[in-house]
Structure 1
């Protein structure tokens, strides 16, 4: 039997590995998010593009987190887990898109280069999304 401190260290390492994977998946989501904002901003405007881009990025990150970051965790069927992921990550959405909206509204450079607002929003929502994903979606 392992001493309790070894088990705590293993748990911390496992969480750190998950967080790093979650962050890597987040980078991929950021790329999808940014590409979609730039792709849709002419037809939908910056706010509409930001909303659609978030849905694309959130769906892609759910899938990647399901098959890689939290592989084998969570018992819900895929469609329910996806819906739970979107629902629980509304906190992250508010932080993410709130930051995005504030920057494109009040910072001319962010409106001209939405990648700045997208990056700031992604960072603002990342910690809440990781915690909720780990504790609610993929438990």
Structure 2
């Protein structure tokens, strides 16, 4: 599969993850009265799971990780955690700079996701799904 197509499919997966991430964090803050920093931890795990499901099927469906499903998911979440550090640092900085966004954390989620997406694609493609599937 061409790199351009992989990037496009990864971006679609990222949008899915963004919807899950922003939706969960906003719901937890608005309806569950969670702290926006703590809510982001749960929203990340759920978003990472959604992007893993998409990307293992579509973006990297022609590649394999050589791991069991559970091990692959754990590896995915660990790798996405690298991007999450970038994402969370930007998220926290945005919330500190704009305190009014504590009521609207989904805006901060969206703004912080762009930089992390580049890190996430590189680690997913170059580390987890680095080998092409072979015909049996």
Q: 1:67 aligns with which of 50, 57, 60?
A: 57
- Aligned: 1:124 with 2:115: yes
Unaligned stretches of 5+ residues in structure 1:
1-10
Alpha-carbon shift at residue 113 of structure 1 (Å):
2.1
- Separation in structure 2 between the aligned mates of residue 27 and residue 90 of structure 1, nearest angstrom: 17
Identify the match of residue 39 of structure 2 among 19, 31, 49: 49
* Structure 1 residue matching 2:67: 3-state secondary structure: coil
| Cα root mean square deviation, aligned | 1.4
Cα deviation, 1:34-69, whole Å, max 9, x if unaligned, reads 110011114321011111101100011011100111
* Structure with greater proportional helix content: 1
Partners of 1:92 and 1:43 lie apart in 2 by 27
How many Å separate the matches in 1 of 2:103 and 2:115?
A: 20
The answer to whether the 8 A contact 2:26-2:104 is kept is no
Number of aligned residue pairs: 127
Tell me the equivalent position of 2:15.
Answer: 27
Alignment partners' CA distance in 1, 2:36 and 2:27: 10
4+ residue segments displaced more than 3 Å: none
Per the alignment, residue 4 of structure 1 pairs with: none
Cα deviation code 1:46-93 (max 9, x no counterpart): 011111101100011011100111003122111111111111222201
State the TM-score, normalized to the length of structure 2.
0.87
Normalised to the residue count of structure 1, the TM-score between the two structures is 0.85
Q: Which has the higher contact order (CA 8 A, sep 6+)?
A: 2
